[in-house]
Amino acid sequence: MPSGSNVVFHVSNLENSIMFYTENLGFSVDFRFGEPPTYAGMSLGNVCLHISSAYPYKNNTGHGNLYIMFDAVDGLYEKLVTAKVEFYCPIGNREYGMRDFAIKDLDGNQIGIGAEIQ
């Protein structure tokens, strides 16, 4: 029986990506691997994200997609607007029962962030 999973995003610069995720979304770095590091694991609550800058295929960055459930999306949205993070779509109430938005990381990977409409 599976015990969990991790999303892996391929990034062009490991340290810049770590800064993006820790400063903007509040992720904590769980580990770095390699010398110099080319792989890292991060977490935010129960959400695990791994990033790699040593993928063997060229031009593979920016194809990832992750959706994170948050309790208070409006406050986080305003923080990200202030930080001038690039958005795929602005915050709004959706027909599928979520209030959400989507941002781009430094390589164009998409992170959707939402909360169920109460």
For every residue of 99-116, which 3-state class applies, written as one string? EEEEEECCCCCEEEEEEE
Render pLDDT for 20-78 as a digit per residue (tens, 0 to 9): 999 999 999 999 999 999 999 999 999 999 999 987 766 678 888 999 999 889 999 99
Topology of 7-55+62-116 in CATH? 2,3-Dihydroxybiphenyl 1,2-Dioxygenase; domain 1 (3.10.180)
CB atoms within 10 A of CB 2: 4
Q: Pick the range with the lowest mean pLDDT from 2-6, 50-54, 77-81, 114-118.
A: 2-6
Rounded to 10 degrees, the C-alpha dihedral 57/60/61/62 comes to: -170
Q: How far apart are CA 58 and CA 76, in angstroms?
A: 33
Q: Would you list the domain boundaries of the chain?
A: 7-55+62-116
| pLDDT for position 26 | 94
